[in-house]
Structure 1
């Protein structure tokens, strides 16, 4: 770690460390009886006190790190005070009037915090598969694929792995018994495998399978199952399904996104309903009057 202290700040840092040397032992052991502490730096009418600096240094910090922490803090403090002083001189009263902005910010933050509490209490977060399917069907045009996707099954096994002939025969099978055989084989002999019906984007597929082709669309159309070899391994691959670019994305890939959309709509409806209810209540109780 390193720091650079330039110009008059060097003297400030020396003063800082003189102050810390005089007061630090008593500070950490008994606390500082002076509420403010001793001033060590002044910028115009603003003072930095030894108590401010003691608070910067965590107990147990070594001298080198303490020097860096204090130097950085001092530099920042001095620059801040100089900028504030210059800003005060150059901004007019309207520019320095932050009351409305602060009030608006506080109001917005208060309302937001209350709304989040209401959402936690009242929002139904259960989204059924029927709702997801309906939204997907009604808005399928919004789920256009930007890349190819494949639903693939694959096993990565050593070239000398046993029973490869049998595994080649059943790698495309949907029979429960064959799937169980594949699972057992993967557990015993595969370096890695994927047997679930999982959609993968092409980049994800390539991360697992070292397939090289200049025409992936044609390859997918003409190869339901294939093998790829590397120096040590054989990849047995079965493409159960695939989708081309610009086709409608499979529902399985969009489920979480759709769920988030549905929940966000519910949030907006809930908050709108609460606001409408408050307005009606305010008018009925004469807490809101139009003049």
Structure 2
């Protein structure tokens, strides 16, 4: 009479065979998937499959262009594979070892950097208060010297044949509450407009927006309290300059606020990463995952 252990062993064997054969003929089996793969080329033990280049083929490309692209891609792939194979045979072992170490170091850096960035992005506070911005600005004010003239102005570009130019000009220059309402009411007729004269703008940007204004004549027009009118074949350009700061003057806080915010966020991020690395080491030591031997 067979022992129970022997019977269980035979049953287990039969079940294993059934599972194996059912997987062979299953539409979802591993081997079936391999058979479905369409190889395009082989170099040694490396295969290039159709799905490897599927995403590279665009729908709007002709069959002739697709065929040429695939042929070129296969040849390039084969060249790289053959060169890689030859390099492993013919390069000195010391050099191969050095390259393998570089690859491992790069892979480690890639994984760890991505992991740290993911942790930081999940937990880092990205809100910088106005008080933090102002405090940093006051401490570092001497480092915020302008490298280019900046300007505050109101600006309108009119079509060449605009009929009500004189009233627009007076309202833009004076710009009281009534004038602002008037300009807003007919703003749809303007080609371009900017009424926000609290915003500092680089002089180079203004020169690009107003074709008749050039780097040679900007000092004539971009002066504090200056109103100017320029025109060319495209339109009429009206502007009232409300303030100007020149090269080497201190940047206003509003102008450098985005830069300061980025600096503070980068500092906070680096501090968070250092804290994270310290906590990882401390936790590993506590859990006996990390030990240093004398």
TM-score under structure 1 length normalisation? 0.72
> For 2:278, which of 271, 276, 279 is the aligned residue?
276
Q: What do residues 224-265 of structure 1 show as CA deviations (whole Å, max 9, x unaligned)?
A: 112113346332210011111222223333222211111111
Whole-angstrom CA distance in 2 between matches of 1:56 and 1:212: 51
Are 1:152 and 1:241, in contact at CA under 8 Å, matched by a contact in 2? yes
The aligned runs of 1:1-291 (5 Å cut-off) are 34=35, 46=44, 52=49, 56=53, 63-97=63-97, 98-158=99-159, 160-187=161-188, 189-197=189-197, 198-209=199-210, 210-212=212-214, 214=216, 216-217=218-219, 219-221=221-223, 224-231=226-233, 233-284=235-286, 287-289=290-292, 291=294
Post-superposition shift, 1:146? Answer: 2.1
Q: What do residues 136-194 of structure 1 show as CA deviations (whole Å, max 9, x unaligned)?
A: 2222233222222211111122455344333333313353332222222323x322211
Whole-angstrom CA distance in 2 between matches of 1:181 and 1:139: 43
Q: Which runs of 5 or more residues in structure 1 are unaligned?
A: 1-30
Q: How many residues align?
A: 256
Q: What do residues 103-133 of structure 1 show as CA deviations (whole Å, max 9, x unaligned)?
A: 3333323322221222122111111222222
SS at match of 2:158: strand
Post-superposition shift, 1:86? Answer: 3.2
Q: Structure 1 36/163 Cα, relative in aligned 2: closer, same or farther at 3 Å?
A: closer
Whole-angstrom CA distance in 1 between matches of 2:207 and 2:37: 64
TM-score under structure 2 length normalisation? 0.72
Are 1:155 and 1:186, in contact at CA under 8 Å, matched by a contact in 2? no
Q: What do residues 6-33 of structure 1 show as CA deviations (whole Å, max 9, x unaligned)?
A: xxxxxxxxxxxxxxxxxxxxxxxxx998
- Alignment RMSD: 3.4
Whole-angstrom CA distance in 2 between matches of 1:137 and 1:111: 37
Whole-angstrom CA distance in 1 between matches of 2:151 and 2:120: 38
Q: Structure 1 59/236 Cα, relative in aligned 2: closer, same or farther at 3 Å?
A: closer
Whole-angstrom CA distance in 2 between matches of 1:53 and 1:73: 11
- Identify the residue that residue 15 of structure 2 maps to in structure 1: none
- Identify the residue that residue 18 of structure 1 maps to in structure 2: none
Q: Choose 83-92 or 51-60, whichever is displaced more.
A: 51-60
Post-superposition shift, 1:59? Answer: 10
Q: Which runs of 5 or more residues in structure 2 are unaligned?
A: 1-31
Q: Structure 1 272/232 Cα, relative in aligned 2: closer, same or farther at 3 Å?
A: closer
